[in-house]
Amino acid sequence: MAAFLYRIGRLAFRRRWTVALVWAAVLAAVGLAGMTAPEAEEEPFSMPGIESQEAFDLMEERFPGAAADGATARVVFVSPNGEKVTASENKEAVEAAIAELGDGTQVASTVDPYESGAVSEDGSTAYTTVTYKVDAAGLTDASRSHLDESLEHARDSGLTVEAGGDAMEDMGGPSGTAEAIGVSVAAVVLLITFGSLAAAGLPLLTALIGVGISLFAITALAGPLGLADSTSTVAIMLGLAVGIDYALFIVSRYREERAKGRTAQEAVALATGTAGSAVVFAGLTVVIALAGLSVVGIPMLTEMGLGAAGAVVVGVLIALTLVPALLGFWPNAILTRKDRKARRAGGAPRETRKVNGGTRWASFVLRRPLPVLLAAVAGLGALALPMTDLQLGMPGDEAMSTETTQRRAYDALAEGFGPGFNGPLTVVVDARDADDPKAAAETVSGRIGGTEGVVSVSPAQFNESGDTAVFSVVPTTAPTGQETKDLVNTIRGDRPGIESEAGATFEVTGTTAMNIDVSEKVQSALVPYLLVVVGLAVILLLVVFRSILVPLKAAAGFLLSVLAALGAVVVVFQQGHGADLLGVETTGPIMSLMPIFLVGIVFGLAMDYEVFLVSRMREAYVHGERPAQAVTSGFQHSARVVVAAALIMIAVFSGFIGDSDAMIKMIGFGLASAVLLDAFVVRMAIVPAVLALLGERAWWLPKWLDRILPRVDVEGEALTRPAGPEAEPAEKDLART
């Protein structure tokens, strides 16, 4: 591997114009394809294999043209203090508002609250549901503006008017603020790390080129493959992250080789052969983690994972080819100012410093490995304890800021109609085989209505064929409450008896039931996902490091850091400790996709740091250093780079904490916490402590396994081995160089 990548790096250096033009052509080609591609239609969220999705599909089949996935806006009218919405003046204002709302070009229907009984018992609150012909993604700006203007006109009458529902969601996509913050902080960190504008700018330039190629490619494929907007968002985030990291590692090794007195061409080739090997295997671990999201069985996660994995592959290819080519254009500009002055003056190149912050920290850990290990594990364990109280769900309008109309509408409905009103269950009765479909639907409705925890059941609505009915069930508790989840399980548990009595089948769906089913599916898929991803990564690291214990230590350290990060998320977003500091106004269940999303992304980044750091230790060990010396050498050369890469990632993810959306805050906080804990506690403390305690045993590998495993030479042993008559062609070539 090292010899092959050595040749790649040297060829890219020599043919730098060709390499640069090829990448420019690729960027132009995919850019043209992306800009001319037809706009992709937003695919509705789907979750195969769960009851609520099957019921939803049945509704679409039996109620054609009913726009089961059409966007809705629930508009709430609250009368002034002491008045009622049924008073003549207020009633006229409500009816006028409903008439104006119904004039929208994409509106399918509106409901009169006075005719449908959508008025609270005390008469203070009423609501109407505006149903659109298209889903939320299909709403035009004109329709959204019409909705906002109608709400403002209604407020002029003196009523309190708020609105919720998916029609109110902001579909504009990410603002780019977090990415801008990440790039800005990355530039500062790189400038401090390298002390050169050129060295700081090169990783940013190549990362942005890689992100551009990935983004345009996803845009071009979005239409034919039906990719969601979230696919490009995650690809941008991770493409930027690994693109900077991988280029950073190559450039850092190049500067190190130049400081030893090597020519620019030789330094580029050696950097690509050694650091490039680490980049290849680090990239493979990230790809495994992201592509492994497909085992969960959620189409959206599969798309996000594969799209981001593609961006990582592009980042690896750019690091191995374009970075060496650009180093060929500016071989000395990348160096520090002192080195450039020394070379212009004809002086000797500066030797790499023997003692730096990395070596001092490594020496500290090596002197007292057991206390450091125990303290780090105890700290992560304490942070992980709240994870045992993890409750999954899909926070809705109740998790939004009270400054939003969605949250105020949610609170008004809960106060006027009860907490369960915001999360009604939808029951679909399939009476196609029943002798009397109406009687069957009434039986199902009556039995469910008599279940403890149910406030009311709406009249059943039949399709044109009269063989399928739909009705709503309002629970007594909030949508995210455990009692509501228990109610759904109770209704489904009573199904055999109810269906036997009614002679028809039924299924439970609706947003609340869908969220419950999604949470259960994700929770059940988490362990298989971990087994697949961690298992494959351990095998890969086994090949890279030729050790049994190092890969197991890497996997165990990752599990500690990700569990601790999830524990921190539970403490803040579920239990509410420190929530005010982050602007979190309402606590509740953790977003269902959060744990598996966190595991997938952080695992890839954690293995990046593991490969970058430990590959230098392995390289030093293979070249004759004792285990303790190898640990110190690894920290001397890689600690600064790993710290810089981690700080960049933390800055990128922390940018999302300032978002007004509670779920975005949660994702940003979770990712930033995980990277912080993994890079600075696991990789910087636990890794050297464990290696110090293991000594020679850390690199032990059974002889039979040593014979079976392929030799990939990630440590670059072939690049320093003397070439004899029987040497491989690559080694002879290296010797001549």
In angstroms, the CA 676 to CA 682 distance is 9
- Averaged confidence pLDDT in the chain: 83
Q: Band the pLDDT of 488: cuts 50, 70, 90.
A: very high
Q: Is residue 8 part of a domain?
A: yes
Residue 583 has pLDDT above 60, yes or no: yes
Tokens describing residue 360: 């001092």
**pLDDT at residue 233 in the model:** 74
The CATH number of the domain holding residue 607 is: 1.20.1640.10
> Does one domain contain both 146 and 251?
no
Give per-residue pLDDT as tens, 2-18.
Answer: 788 999 999 999 999 99
Judgement on whether residues 381 and 467 belong to the same structural domain of the protein: no
| Ramachandran bin of 545, using left for φ above 0, alpha for ψ from -120 to 50, beta for the remaining angles | alpha
Higher pLDDT, residue 378 or 117: 378
* Mean pLDDT within 149-169: 87
How confident is the model over 353-375, as pLDDT tens digits?
A: 567 788 899 999 999 999 999 99
101 and 199 part of one domain? no
Residues 6+ apart with CB under 8 A from 232: 215, 218, 219, 222, 307
601-615 confidence digits (pLDDT tens): 888 778 778 888 888
CB 627 within 8 A of CB 317: no
How confident is the model over 564-573, as a mean pLDDT? 91
Mean pLDDT of 156-178: 74
**Model-level pTM?**
0.78
| pLDDT at site 568 | 92
State whether 157 and 206 are in the same domain.
no
Q: What does the pLDDT read at residue 44?
A: 59
pLDDT tens-digit profile of 169-220? 765 444 556 567 767 777 888 788 777 788 888 888 999 999 999 989 888 8
CA distance 730 to 716: 12
Q: What are the CA-CA distances from residue 178 to residues 183, 205, 308, 580, 649 (Å)?
A: 9, 18, 17, 21, 11
Non-local (6+) Cβ contacts of 243 within 8 A are 203, 206, 207, 208, 210, 211, 315, 318, 319
pLDDT tens by residue, 717-737: 666 644 333 334 333 443 343
Structural domain range at position 162? 71-168
Local structure of 461: helix, strand or coil:
strand
Contact 281, 322 (CB under 8 A): no
Percent with pLDDT over 70 in the chain: 88
CATH number of residue 80's parent domain:
3.30.70.600
Please indicate, yes or no, whether residues 139 and 218 belong to a single structural domain of this protein.
Answer: no
Domain endpoint, select from 461, 494, 515: 515
Q: Where are the beta strands (DSSP E) in 360-406?
A: 392-393
Q: What is the pLDDT of residues 659-677, one digit of tens each?
A: 666 667 788 888 889 989 9
Q: What confidence score (pLDDT) does residue 40 get?
A: 60
Q: Which is more confident, 725 or 266?
A: 266
What is the pLDDT at residue 178?
A: 59
Q: Is residue 551 part of a domain?
A: yes
Read off the pLDDT of residues 32-85 as tens digits, 9 standing for 90 and up. Answer: 988 887 766 655 566 777 888 888 888 888 887 654 567 888 899 999 887 898
**Within a 10 A sphere around the Cβ of 136, how many other Cβ atoms?**
21
Q: Given this model, what pLDDT does residue 728 score?
A: 40
**Are 75 and 97 spatial neighbours (Cβ–Cβ below 8 Å)?**
yes
Place of tokens 């968002």: 233
Rounded Cα gap, residues 100 and 103, in angstroms: 5
DSSP 712-725: --TT-GGGTSPP-T
Say if residue 86's pLDDT is above 70. yes
Number of domains in the chain: 4
Do 83 and 154 belong together in one domain? yes
- Provide CB contacts within 8 A for 401, sequence distance 6+: 407, 583, 585, 660, 662
Give me the pLDDT at residue 363, please: 92
Residue 58 in any domain: the answer is no
| Averaged pLDDT, 552-564 | 89
Name the one residue in this structure whose structure tokens are 């500062």: 188
Q: What element of type H or E holds 72?
A: strand 72-78
Position 605 in a domain: yes
Tell me whether residue 707 is in a domain: no
CATH number of the domain enclosing 445: 3.30.70.360
Residues 250 and 202 grouped into a single domain: yes
Domain-located, residue 47: no
Q: Give the model's pLDDT for residue 723.
A: 39
pLDDT at 477 over 80: yes
In the predicted structure, residue 273 carries a pLDDT above the cut 50 = yes
Do residues 582 and 596 make contact, with C-beta atoms less than 8 angstroms apart? Answer: no
* Structure token digits, residue 632: 């110190």
675 domain-assigned: yes
Alpha carbons 592 and 666: distance in angstroms, whole number: 12
**Residues 666 and 590 sit within 8 Å (Cβ to Cβ):** yes
HEC profile for 42-58? CCCCCCCCCHHHHHHHH
Based on the fold, state whether residues 509 and 576 are members of the same structural domain.
no
298 with 234, same domain: the answer is yes
pLDDT at 725: 38
Q: Which pLDDT score is estimated for 681?
A: 93
Residue 454 or 2, more confident: 454
**561 and 486 part of one domain:** no
Question: Are 83 and 25 in a shared domain?
Answer: no
Structure confidence at residue 384 (pLDDT): 92
Nearest-CA neighbor of 330 among 194, 182, 209? Answer: 194
Q: What angle (nearest 5°) sits at the alpha carbon of residue 393, between those of residues 388 and 399?
A: 110
CB of 126 closer than 8 Å to CB of 85: yes
pLDDT, tens digit (0-9, with 9 covering 90-100), for 617-652: 888 888 888 989 999 988 988 888 888 888 888 887
pLDDT of residue 17: 94
Rounded (10°) angle between helices 141-155 and 88-101: 170
Residue 720 has what pLDDT?
61
Same domain, 503 and 527: no
Q: Predicted confidence band at 539 (pLDDT cuts at 50, 70, 90)?
A: confident
pLDDT band at 111 (very low <50, low <70, confident <90, very high): confident
Q: Classify residue 203: in a domain, yes or no.
A: yes
Alpha-carbon gap, residue 679 to 686, rounded angstroms = 10
The whole-number pLDDT of residue 665 equals 79
